[in-house]
Amino acid sequence: MDHPAPELVRPWRTATLVASAVAAVELVLLVVAGVFLLGRTLAPHGHGTSKRPAAKHAAKAPATSERPVVAPPKPVRTASATLPRSKTHVVVLNGNGVSGAAAQEAALVQARGYRVTRVANAPRSGYAKTIVMYRPGFAGEARRFARDLNLSLVEPLDGLKPRALPGAQLLVIVGASR
């Protein structure tokens, strides 16, 4: 009977076990690094996250039972629209992720007499409601526009610079509901 000597078998088995253990540790480290890096890149795109400052402040509840001090409302400036509808330029962005939503809204905007200068996708999707934003000095046009299209959210440009609206006074981000 030819059997290998026991001392020759052991070093081979030990080397195999050590190499397997090192490979297993490397695999675990690669999986952890992949989950960490992939999780970081996908985190801002999740359904539960929101970068809107208003949503962040609304979600915070006071830590004590005391009621927070509320500042008196600012006086509302009742500026009326000075530009005619045909001279009011609008950028329409799709913020709900539904294909063709911005084009459909742009057709409605044009039917009301406004000029659409650009139709595109918003930087992110997931807007719950359609929002009208305006450049400084065009609040009256934005309120008239919102009335014409039966929209309720009208805000100054938030997070965008006026240069992001080349030649337009108003921006509409189409949300899931009007």
**CATH code for the domain of 156:** 3.30.70
User: Which structural domain range is residue 20 located in?
Assistant: 8-45
Q: Is residue 51 part of a domain?
A: no
pLDDT score, position 106: 96
- Judge if 96 and 165 occupy the same domain: yes
Q: Is residue 129 part of a domain?
A: yes
pLDDT score, position 57: 46
Distance from C-alpha of 120 to C-alpha of 75, rounded to nearest angstrom: 35
Q: Look at residue 73 and give its three-state secondary structure.
A: coil
pLDDT score, position 146: 95
Tell me the pTM.
0.55
| Cα 146 to Cα 32, 40, 67, 99, 109, distances in angstroms | 49, 37, 34, 23, 10
Distance from C-alpha of 151 to C-alpha of 127, rounded to nearest angstrom: 14
Query: pLDDT tens, 2-57?
Result: 665 555 556 777 888 888 999 999 988 888 887 777 766 555 544 444 444 444 44
The total of structural domains in the chain comes to: 2
Mean pLDDT of the chain: 79
For residue 148 the two structure tokens come to 């014409």
- Judge if 95 and 22 occupy the same domain: no
- Judge if 25 and 101 occupy the same domain: no
Q: Is residue 67 part of a domain?
A: no
Q: Is residue 33 part of a domain?
A: yes
